[in-house]
Amino acid sequence: MKIQVAIIGAGPSGLLLCRLLRLQGIDTVVLERKDRAYVEGRIRAGVLEQTTVDLFREAKVNERMDREGIIHQGFSISFAGRQERVDLSGHTGGKTVMVYGQTELTQDLFRALIEEDDAAIIFDAENVTPSNFLDGKPTISYQKDGVNYQLECEYIAGCDGYHGASRASVPKDKIQCFEKAYPFGWLGLLSDTPPVDKELIYVNHERGFALCSQRSLQRSRYYLQCELTDKAENWTAAQFWDELSRRIPQHNAEELVTGPALEMSIAPLRSFVAEPMRFGQLFLVGDAAHIVPPTGAKGLNLAASDVFYLSRALIARYGEGRVDLLARYSETALRRVWQAVRFSWWFTSITHKFNDEPIEQRFQLAELNYLFGSAAGQTTIAENYVGLPFEDFS
């Protein structure tokens, strides 16, 4: 089997890249280790930057998103008995974010690619191994139903996540990784209950961070900072609701609607960046190249940013014969990556409890007091939260 672009991973970034390329007549195939039901069922982020929304509209998978997505013009930060709102729209000239779940985005992409476009997506592909990408003749070997296959292609897009085969296939002497692990995790609970507030609430509390988020007007997502050694099975839904009520503002706690947990899990927090993001004919995309703490809602949006740059480069390659954009992909994508990684680290540093030292909490409170006493400080938060613009890449 020969193809122009092979994509490893059928998460949102891989599917979005596939869709954008196919709309331009570029032959693609997607290899996915799991089945469709598993991929569609994964619970992930749901806050979309305007640039991400625009990219899904370009991919013509926006009908349900535009109908069901919820526009947010701000969010709140609770600290020291105060609750202050960041006016995203007011501080960015009208820019907003949209709440629309990654699960829904993935379902929309599958419907467009499989049911409308008849795209080649190979599920249950095991032992996927990219090779020869440094020599200009990339191939991917894999197994399906016990049979060995080899795929020849011109380019490989590694959209297979932090633990995927793409980055692991790069020789160690050709890649540099930067990583910071945080001394806590997030315990998340998903429930079919109305959100406690119309906008997100980030909470800096002496008992630890909390976040009131949402997926729709009837589905909520809440988080609690927890120990890395903790386990989700140690918690009942009732215990979670009780602890959440202790951390969020009292008026929100009084209006909190509780219910059974659809899903509870604990995620560790880390900052991670791999450089470069191109190795010959192999390009890393999304979590394969970078991980951010979820505090700033940047994970999916950064993956979409990578897709923007790589799709432009590949479309220029096949439409105009240009290779200069492919050569610039890594350095261009990494500039935006590092900006988002920095913001996510900073936002985490002012909202979470890192230790019991009183001076550390005083530093946080001083920072928060400054930010909400300064229009420039709030603009800094707002500009980064709604997402910095893409560079001109033409």
Catalytically active residues are 72, 202, 294, 298, 385
Task: Report the relative pairing of strands 97-99 and 70-72 from DSSP bridges.
Answer: antiparallel
355 by Cβ neighbours in 10 Å (0-12 / 13-18 / 19+) ranks as exposed
Find tokens 């949102």 and name the residue.
12
Q: What are phi and psi of 241, to 5 degrees?
A: -60, -40
Query: Hey, is 180 helix, strand or coil?
Result: strand
Find tokens 């991929």 and name the residue.
39
Alpha-carbon distance of 261 to 194, in angstroms, equals 13
DSSP 8-state code for residue 122: E
Give the CA diameter of the chain.
Answer: 64
210 beta partners: 203, 224
Q: Are 134 and 89 in contact (CB under 8 A)?
A: no
Tell me which residue of 387, 295, 391, 313 sits closest to 350, measured CA to CA.
Answer: 295
- Here the tokens at position 312 are 């432009």
Q: Are 301 and 308 in contact (CB under 8 A)?
A: no
Alpha-carbon distance of 311 to 19, in angstroms, equals 10
Q: What are phi and psi of 275, to 5 degrees?
A: -125, 140
Q: What are phi and psi of 89, to 5 degrees?
A: -65, -45
Measured between alpha carbons, how far is residue 366 from residues 78, 118, 248, 359, 372 in Å? 14, 56, 20, 10, 10
